[in-house]
Structure 1
């Protein structure tokens, strides 16, 4: 039986013996800007020290959730310490967002993503943003949305809800496993388009396989046929360099808590211009939702939310800019190529792509007869190595910049050991 008093007592005792807050707020210097050129391993090791992840833990599952580093945590904690004093200068100022435009938090992230502030709405997660798209676009019964067979539940289910309520048709095309090149993906999308297709909604980076889809080419294809292009970019910010206005899509959603390592509870919706905003209804509404002069800001009118999360977002953007997205992307791709090649040597079936251009920092492989959950539980319970994938035998291996080759080699050695234990040749 749950004992609330004992639980609370244990929590207090734990906070005294393990002062996590103090540890998180402890300043650890960032590496010098020129260290990367002098000693690359030392540079990435210094950045690893920004994360609270214990040194004996290997996290190959940033694809589910990232770990906020010290600068982000400090910004969050400082934000609460500041806002909860309730000493805001104006009599109508309060420590919440969801009613104002908050450009000081929108603009840094918009700049980071190659967008303008008036195109960017900061929301609470990618699911909320995807629901805006699916529920807000004007469509009638029989109209089609074209999605891939690899969409995350938060991308697919809003459309399934729309289908059940209003008769919108959800049509899927099969992603190649693996795609040999970008043209193969484009051809499958083009072949699945019908006269009833109104929206193409696909992931920029597949949560299932890690394939980096040719977003710019897909957007151009949609535009040539008068179809709205929308992307679920949950994995893109912080993994690869993104320029939304260069991609040329109509709508783009995403999360900041994965590869950008921002606060949990931050997501976004990008809308290209007023013409697309006029076609997407707000599905959460409070005062200001219907003011077209507010542009993307009107999709932020969602009620009380938490300002310190946005302070943490600014710190995450600052850290990524300090490192440089070109450097982050190159690091993630290098580690991904390494773990991908090593798993191929071990006879794994490639589900990402043999084309390095279609890989970012996720390599997905199929490894029958290894049972994914059995391996996953064994790795974490006995060896503090986190992975994820899909049943029965799919492994999704994420390679954030703070990992080392030694971390990957540790996983590979344990994978080999597990196969021996199970008698798998």
Structure 2
């Protein structure tokens, strides 16, 4: 079984051997991370210990000439994950029909078991996919719906998922119904009430985000699922930005369908995702790509996509070990600490407005900030052109701003560079083009 001590030793060996970092001293590196693993302080205390997080930062091979604050889009993987993927890919290419299909492919089952254990489900309820979009569309297309049936979601859900239902509207004449949520919202009962208020006798399916991708708002999944289940309505949960971002398990959600990407907050190889479907629900959900009838009750029917690499999926194991070595609660606390460092500073400025709650339980490391009277796309270009800082522009009919998503490899200097730049443009305005 993996534990923090074996994980930390592996990082020290793999990162150094695979990438030959000249300034890294393997023994010092391993000792520091072993101290991190044995630390008995609270997550909030550890979140502020820069000597420990410095060692975590060195596990990544990122370009420090720029500041990447769009880790919510897709994250870099630690060196140990990159090395594992390369090792599996090299082996695959020895003789793919044998080495990839017969040797490596069966090892996916170990990854499946570990993901299930981390999520709190059974291994037979976890499908390995390419991203959250594939996982979600499997669910969105997998339910039989009739003309006139309604599907319900908010106006703030991910555009691709809204587009998916809009296609079913055009093709099958179902009806997509959307409603807005307060930005931000610090009242879970209000959120549940808005979902319930918009349910009609025609509602057949609900899609909800665990964490809204454009604000970082954490929604009360368990309460919505319980309310909808009492009415016989299944709920698909979009967990693209939640899994491995903050600490939770399936027991905290009680949902039957959960989809996520693993290349965001788990730091797994790009193009990896996960779909959970509760065992008794698998048979009733059609796969997006055809599978034989004998697989009707098998979670692997959702993986029938044709030839695919083994390397990406097997290296998920190293990403999971890295995540567990840090600890979910510690990681969550660190991401909140980084967010609060810039957000609380900028919130004091007159032209700054936060669209993300800073209250416990309503958000984590992802936050959206607006500079009043500044176009978010122009602000994004300015931050890159002038300061080499990467953020995400958000322009929604209900609000706008820039999304900021640091990660565990982000330094305090990088956070402060962003805050300095925002403070400067808040006082002087964007330069005229």
Query: Into which bin does the TM-score normalised by the smaller protein fall?
Result: 0.7 to 0.9
C-alpha RMSD of matched pairs (Å): 2.5
The yes-or-no answer on 1:76 pairing with 2:88 is: no
Q: Is the 1:290–1:298 contact (alpha carbons within 8 Å) kept by the matching residues of 2?
A: no
1:135 is matched with which residue?
A: 141
The yes-or-no answer on 1:62 pairing with 2:71 is: yes
Q: Deviations over 1:98-142 (max 9, x none)?
A: xx7931221112212222110100011111111111111111111
1:175 is matched with which residue?
A: 181
Q: CA deviation at 1:293?
A: 4.6
Q: CA deviation at 1:410?
A: 1.2
SS in 1 for 2:403: strand
Q: Is the 1:123–1:269 contact (alpha carbons within 8 Å) kept by the matching residues of 2?
A: yes
Q: 2 CA distance for matches of 1:195 and 1:152?
A: 25
Q: Deviations over 1:122-172 (max 9, x none)?
A: 011111111111111111111111101111122211111111111111111
The answer for unaligned runs of 5 or more in structure 1 is 1-20
Q: 1:91 to 1:55 in 2, by over 3 A?
A: closer
Return the match for 2:401 from 373, 394, 399.
394
Q: Deviations over 1:267-322 (max 9, x none)?
A: 12110122x22221112024x4642352x122112211110101221110010011
1:329 is matched with which residue?
A: 332
Q: 1 CA distance for matches of 2:101 and 2:112?
A: 21
Q: 1 CA distance for matches of 2:247 and 2:336?
A: 12
Q: Is the 1:146–1:172 contact (alpha carbons within 8 Å) kept by the matching residues of 2?
A: yes
Report the more deviating stretch, 244-253 or 58-67.
244-253
The yes-or-no answer on 1:284 pairing with 2:289 is: yes
Q: 2 CA distance for matches of 1:90 and 1:53?
A: 31
Q: Is the 2:108–2:314 contact (alpha carbons within 8 Å) kept by the matching residues of 1?
A: no
Return the match for 2:52 from 31, 43, 48.
43
TM-score (norm 2): 0.85
Q: 1 CA distance for matches of 2:319 and 2:100?
A: 30
1:212 is matched with which residue?
A: 218
Return the match for 1:409 from 389, 407, 416.
416
Q: Is the 2:93–2:99 contact (alpha carbons within 8 Å) kept by the matching residues of 1?
A: no
Q: 1:139 to 1:49 in 2, by over 3 A?
A: same
TM-score (norm 1): 0.87
Q: 2 CA distance for matches of 1:90 and 1:261?
A: 26
Q: 2 CA distance for matches of 1:46 and 1:374?
A: 35
Return the match for 2:271 from 251, 265, 273.
265
2:12 is matched with which residue?
A: none
Q: Is the 2:67–2:414 contact (alpha carbons within 8 Å) kept by the matching residues of 1?
A: yes
> Structure 2 matches for 1:8-27, cutoff 5 A?
25-26=19-20
Q: CA deviation at 1:175?
A: 1.2
> Structure 2 matches for 1:23-422, cutoff 5 A?
25-26=19-20, 29=29, 31-35=32-36, 40-86=49-95, 93=102, 102-274=108-280, 276-286=281-291, 288=292, 290-294=294-298, 296-347=299-350, 348-391=352-395, 393-422=400-429
Q: Is the 1:146–1:193 contact (alpha carbons within 8 Å) kept by the matching residues of 2?
A: yes
SS in 2 for 1:157: helix
2:7 is matched with which residue?
A: none
Q: Is the 2:371–2:426 contact (alpha carbons within 8 Å) kept by the matching residues of 1?
A: no
Q: 2 CA distance for matches of 1:77 and 1:410?
A: 34
Q: 1:91 to 1:150 in 2, by over 3 A?
A: closer
Q: 1 CA distance for matches of 2:76 and 2:373?
A: 32
Q: CA deviation at 1:355?
A: 2.9
Q: Is the 1:160–1:170 contact (alpha carbons within 8 Å) kept by the matching residues of 2?
A: yes
SS in 2 for 1:170: strand
Q: 2 CA distance for matches of 1:47 and 1:251?
A: 33
Report the more deviating stretch, 152-161 or 100-109.
100-109
Q: Is the 2:349–2:426 contact (alpha carbons within 8 Å) kept by the matching residues of 1?
A: no
Q: 1 CA distance for matches of 2:100 and 2:33?
A: 43
Q: CA deviation at 1:180?
A: 2.6
Aligned length: 398
